[in-house]
Amino acid sequence: GAKGHLEVPNTIEGVVGSRIDALSPPQQLALKVASVIGRSFELKLLAAVYPVEQDREDLGRHLDSLRARGFVDQDKVGKTKLFIFHHVITQEVSYKLMLFDQRRVIHREIALWMEDLKKGQSKGFYGLLAHHWSHTDNVKKAYGYLDKAGELARRAGAYQESADFFSRALELADNPDIDEVNRAEDAKRAGWQRKLSDSFFAMGRGKESADYASQALATLGRPQPTNERGWKILLFKGALRQLFHQMVPRSLVVVQDDDLRQQCMEFSFASRRLAEIFYYEHAELQMMGTSLLCL
């Protein structure tokens, strides 16, 4: 371009990025770290996870400057003073400006801080803890919190919220970038699918409920038959299995492996849910076949 020509960003993200670039390095870092916390944040949490320890005492002043420039606003919830990103796009751009490894470290520090602060009273923070752990190298902790959050919502009758948490767990487990250490076991995946089935059943959404119960069985290596002959074979095998159980004392059939025991339990729960759905659909053959599976 001509000498002296000024490049003007042609997107909103570009404009916001240019404004952030014009800030001092400590102000930029404060904005970036805050973006990892969320749309709103407390000064004490920002200070706890801010990576440059010697600059932490100046964070209040930096936030005042950011507020004066329209990057953040200030609010109060009860006695808690909160800072809020003025526009969500400012948070998004600030977040993207951080390196992946930097973000991962900050997410981990936030999760650890919250766990330490909320010891014994973290129920209301399961979702947030799951969010932060899911962006670290310890995804299994995210699985645990998503499971807890889903169960808590289900017991409260918030079935859609419950389904959202279990869906998030499955999406996380299906991420191709997840390393082997953080892979979810089949029993755990089947458990989320079965719990999704239960949540959709409670919402009166039978098709989705049946789909997830079927997925749970497939995950455990027992996909449903696809034709009438297959269902009849399944029914026959189920009858033989029950005859075997009648003849052999249960005390002689012991499952020692914890993972296998969990798989058996999820298999039974998913089969029972399917049998119930088939009952309401008057699908007698399928209902009898799956009923025998869950015994």
Q: Compute CA 15 distance to the chain's CA centroid, rounded to the nearest angstrom.
A: 33
Residue 88 and residue 108 in one domain: no
Find the length of the chain: 295
Domain boundary among 79, 98, 117: 98
DSSP string, 78-145: TTEEEEEESSHHHHHHHHHHS-HHHHHHHHHHHHHHHHHHTTT--GGGHHHHHHHHTTSS-HHHHHHH
- Per-residue pLDDT, 215: 94
94 and 111 belong to one structural domain: no
Q: Is residue 187 part of a domain?
A: no
Same domain? 90 vs 36 = yes
Tell me, yes or no, whether 185 lies in a domain.
no
- Tokens at residue 196, please? 């999704």
- Tell me, yes or no, whether 173 and 215 share the same domain: no
Query: Looking at the domain assignment, is residue 229 inside a domain?
Result: yes
Domain presence at residue 263? yes
Note whether 246 and 295 are within 8 A (CB): no
Are residue 200 and residue 219 in the same domain, yes or no? yes
In a domain? residue 205: yes
Please give the tally of structural domains in the chain: 3
Domain contains 252: yes
Q: In what order do the strands lie in the sheet with 72-77?
A: 40-41, 80-85, 72-77
* pLDDT tens, per residue, the chain with 295 residues: 445 555 666 789 999 999 999 999 999 999 999 999 999 999 999 999 999 999 999 999 999 999 999 999 999 877 788 999 999 999 999 999 999 999 999 999 999 999 988 776 667 789 999 999 999 989 999 999 999 999 999 999 999 999 999 999 999 988 888 877 788 888 899 999 999 999 999 999 999 999 999 999 899 888 888 777 877 777 777 666 666 666 766 665 555 666 777 787 888 888 889 888 888 888 777 777 776 665 5
Q: Which pLDDT belongs to residue 6?
A: 57
Domain boundary among 148, 179, 210: 179
Tell whether 205 and 173 lie within a shared domain: no
Residues 103 and 93 placed together within one structural domain of the fold: no
157 plus 168 within the same structural domain: yes
Residues 149 and 89 in one domain: no
Domain that holds residue 158: 99-179
pLDDT of residue 1: 45
- Of 147, 179, 211, the residue that ends a domain is 179
Q: Do residues 206 and 287 both lie within one domain?
A: yes
User: Is residue 142 located within the same domain as residue 50?
Assistant: no
Task: Note whether residue 124 is domain-resident.
Answer: yes
Q: Is 74 helix (H, G, I), strand (E, B) or coil?
A: strand
For the domain that residue 31 is a member of, what is the CATH number?
A: 1.10.10.10
The verdict on 90 and 67 lying in the same domain is yes
Q: Residue with structure tokens 């399917």?
A: 274
186 within some domain: no
